[in-house]
Amino acid sequence: MKTTDLRNVVLLGHGGVGKTTLAEAMLFNAKAIDRLGRIADGNTTLDYDAEEQKRQVSINTAVAPFEWKKSKINIIDTPGYFDFVGEMYEGIFVADSAVIVVAGDVAVGTEKAFDACELHNIPRVFYVNKMNEETSDFNKIYDELVNLFGNKCVAFHLPIKTDRKFEGFVDVLNQKAYKFDKDGKVTDTDIPSNLQAQVEELNMKIMEIVAETDDELMMKFFEGESFTPDEIKKGVKEAINSNSCYPVLLGSAFENMAVAQFNDFIVDYLPNPAEVCKFEAEDASGNKIDITPDSSKEPVLFVFKTIADPFVGKLSLFKVCSGTMKGDTTMHNPNKGADEKISNVFTMMGKKQIPVQELVAGDIGAVSKLSNTTTNDTLCLKSKPVKVKGINFPQPQITLAVTPKAKGDEEKISNGLSRLAEEDLTFKYENDPEFAQLLITGMGEQHLDVIVGKLKSKYQVQVDLSDPKVPYRETIRKKVKVQGKHKKQSGGHGQYGDVWIEFEPGTQEELEFGEKIFGGAVPKNYFPAVEKGLQEAIRKGVLAGYPVLYLKATLVDGSYHPVDSSEMAFKIAASLAYKKGLAEASPVLLEPIYQIKVYVPERYMGDIIGDLNKRRGRVLGMNPLENGMQEIEAEVPYAELFKYATDLRSMTQARGEFVSEFVRYEEVPMNIAQKIVEEAKASGNLEG
């Protein structure tokens, strides 16, 4: 297989438009599989994960190769639901062209898929699916595509329908018509008279696009000469490759109608890796270089996906950026500074591993049981190290706390989450030592629900999810001077420590400790004990038991006993002064404030700003961006942001996004603070 015979095609689009079903039909037509699997039956090639079969939606990016007309097509099926956008980014990164599948209408997932293609500058076509459905209206969808994405969208197919029944289609480019028999096969037919004018108009538009790809063709076009078939094919390919044209095709994957012709189109008109593929990279000196698919050069692999299976082991999916990859090879991972022994090389047919002798530049494959390599790593020769610039994954946006349903499962949960985080770089987890809670962060509630499902199905542990605890803090608002005296007499030596300490608001988050002792009222050797007593005491405030910030404490006086005084006695005295002093110094609760940047289409501005105000947010500014988008900057209390990712998606029909970061602590409003203090008392957080 040569690089020029490869086609790496990613399927994109809104959830439920039939991407996986289309992939299934493409494989079936090529005899790569012997039966058409169905989503409802849970037996498709590419939706093989237990969670996918249970939910009947794609969750993971999956790859399957097949041969068609002496070419090899690697089909990359991606999820359409926005919680799994990281999977879509993996698929786009290694594809050389995209098929954006549409059904019913042009949904927000269509827009997101198109924007992702724009971001990666990847050639694309539209495939209008489910044309067999009575309510399917190709002309309506086509008009929506043109209105949204411009006149580069050109119908290369038109449906032939009688009484809303999908009976065939017209190939506008070749001005031929086909009708389906009962098995979905096509036979030639005449172009319906009611479509003739539209076919001629669209064909002329395609010829104009072809003419614009070459000066000689432009002259020929103006002189009224017809193009040869080779000139048309070359011109259409060039227009697609340069993103001057987005062909709109059609079919019905579920009934396998017009899918074989779609395979033809991919081989004939979509680019091979040698025509468009280029990876940005750095050499050993940090110089930027481009890696292009040349099978005669040194092998360079980019790992774009990791599958961690507790039974099969770890699989690393890669694209051969250059060179030829064979088994029984040692490769170097410059990202980790480690060598990796590669025994066998596979291609993946969904979950099935198919051993191969070699993979040429531009192809997609997999290896198993790499010790150090993870997603976004490069594998190359140690003698010529390079690092491919990796996938820029979006930051996770929603955090929930995990609680095991059974005691003793903590280690199993941690191991499972670690494996799942290897698979999915939009998923993070961490231990919060303050509240001794395990936190997981993902793109949305459905994303985290799937993580919980995988913990159960793959790692046999069950957990509950809840909102994380807010890391409130406490501070004081006025200056006080108090005494802390610890005096205890028992048999033998007693305990004696006596301090006077001034407490006042500080300027630093950490405790500011000082002393102004005159005449040795407290010996210097007890100063560290006083400070240590305060450092331990500030871990719990007097209001609700939260750590204290911005506190300045100055030891100003005291007394000691030459026999009974000790470091422990002065530590206790300091803590007594702390409890008394803070209670008298107008203690207040503080809450974490986050700065957020919200990116939304302009038409949602009013709703978003109103919602931020309801969340006690302060809008700091608005900045117009490209394509009618707006950036809204605001500061919002962390306690109001737990479900913001879900609510923002709901308010903007999933068109809005946001990023956030902690900026500072601020005083909690009195009415809210009272509730927090009452909850702390009820929970026993003030004990000790």
Element (H, E) at 12: strand 6-12
Is 310 in the same domain as 187? no
**Bridge pairing between strands 463-466 and 338-342:** unpaired
Q: Please, which residues have CB within 8 angstroms of residue 262's CB and are 6 or more apart in sequence?
A: 22, 26, 127, 249, 251
Is 76 in the same domain as 7? yes
Asked if the structure places residue 687 within a domain, the reply is: no
Count of domains in the chain?
Answer: 5
Mark which of 352, 367, 388 sits at the end of a domain: 388
Residues 124-171: tens digit of each pLDDT: 999 999 999 988 999 999 999 999 999 999 999 999 998 888 999 999
Say yes or no to pLDDT of 590 above 70.
yes
Is 597 in the same domain as 573? no
Position 108 scores a pLDDT of 92
Asked if the structure places residue 686 within a domain, the reply is: no
Is 558 in the same domain as 593? no
Is 216 in the same domain as 343? no
Is 16 in the same domain as 111? yes
Q: What is the CATH number of the domain that holds 600?
A: 3.30.70.240
Is 45 in the same domain as 191? yes
Helix runs in 35-187, H state only: 50-55, 85-94, 108-120, 138-149
Position 491 scores a pLDDT of 64
Residues 196-214: tens digit of each pLDDT: 999 999 999 999 999 999 8
In this prediction, residue 232 has a pLDDT band, given cuts at 50, 70 and 90, of very high
Residues 19-78: tens digit of each pLDDT: 999 999 999 999 999 998 899 888 899 998 888 888 889 999 999 999 999 999 999 999
| Nearest C-alpha neighbor of 645 from the set 391, 393, 392, 394 | 394
Say yes or no to pLDDT of 688 above 50.
no
Asked if the structure places residue 682 within a domain, the reply is: no
Say yes or no to pLDDT of 493 above 80.
no
Say yes or no to pLDDT of 116 above 60.
yes
Position 563 scores a pLDDT of 82
Position 485 scores a pLDDT of 93
| Neighbouring-strand partners of residue 619 | 634
Mark which of 222, 254, 276 sits at the end of a domain: 276
Residues 275-317: tens digit of each pLDDT: 998 899 999 888 999 999 999 999 999 999 999 877 778 899 9
Task: Report the b/e string of 356-385 with b at 16+ CB within 10 A.
Answer: beebbbbbbbbbbebeebbbbbbbbeeeeb
Q: Phi first, then psi: what are they for 153, rounded to 5°? A: -75, 120
Asked if the structure places residue 361 within a domain, the reply is: yes
Asked if the structure places residue 300 within a domain, the reply is: yes
Is 299 in the same domain as 375? yes
CB atoms within 10 A of CB 493: 12
* Least confident range of 226-235, 249-258, 265-274, 675-684: 675-684
* Least confident range of 44-58, 111-125, 253-267, 580-594: 44-58
Asked if the structure places residue 393 within a domain, the reply is: no
Can you say whether the dihedral through the CA atoms of 53, 54, 56, 57 is positive or negative? negative
CB atoms within 10 A of CB 231: 18
Say yes or no to pLDDT of 475 above 90.
yes
Asked if the structure places residue 231 within a domain, the reply is: yes
Q: What is the CATH number of the domain that holds 307?
A: 2.40.30.10
Q: What is the CATH number of the domain that holds 205?
A: 3.40.50.300
**What's the mean pLDDT in 553-581?**
92
Q: Please, which residues have CB within 8 angstroms of residue 544's CB and are 6 or more apart in sequence?
A: 472, 474, 589, 676, 677, 679, 680, 681, 685, 686
Task: Report the b/e string of 464-489 with b at 16+ CB within 10 A.
Answer: eeeebebbbbbbbeeebbbbbbbeee
Asked if the structure places residue 680 within a domain, the reply is: no
**Bridge pairing between strands 165-171 and 157-162:** antiparallel
Mark which of 585, 617, 646 sits at the end of a domain: 585
Is 204 in the same domain as 182? yes
**What's the mean pLDDT in 235-261?**
95
**If you ran DSSP here, which 8-state letter would residue 393 be given?**
P
CA distances from 598 to 4, 14, 140, 625 (A): 43, 22, 32, 12
Residues 93-107: tens digit of each pLDDT: 999 999 999 998 999
Is 527 in the same domain as 628? no
Is 88 in the same domain as 180? yes
- The whole domain housing 403 covers 398-466
Is 597 in the same domain as 575? no
Residues 416-437: tens digit of each pLDDT: 999 999 999 999 999 999 888 9
Sequence letter at residue 197: A
Residues 180-190: tens digit of each pLDDT: 987 778 899 99
Mean residue pLDDT of the chain comes to 92
The number of C-alpha atoms within 13 Å of 645 and in the hemisphere containing its C-beta is 20
Q: What is the CATH number of the domain that holds 421?
A: 3.30.70.870
| Neighbouring-strand partners of residue 504 | 552
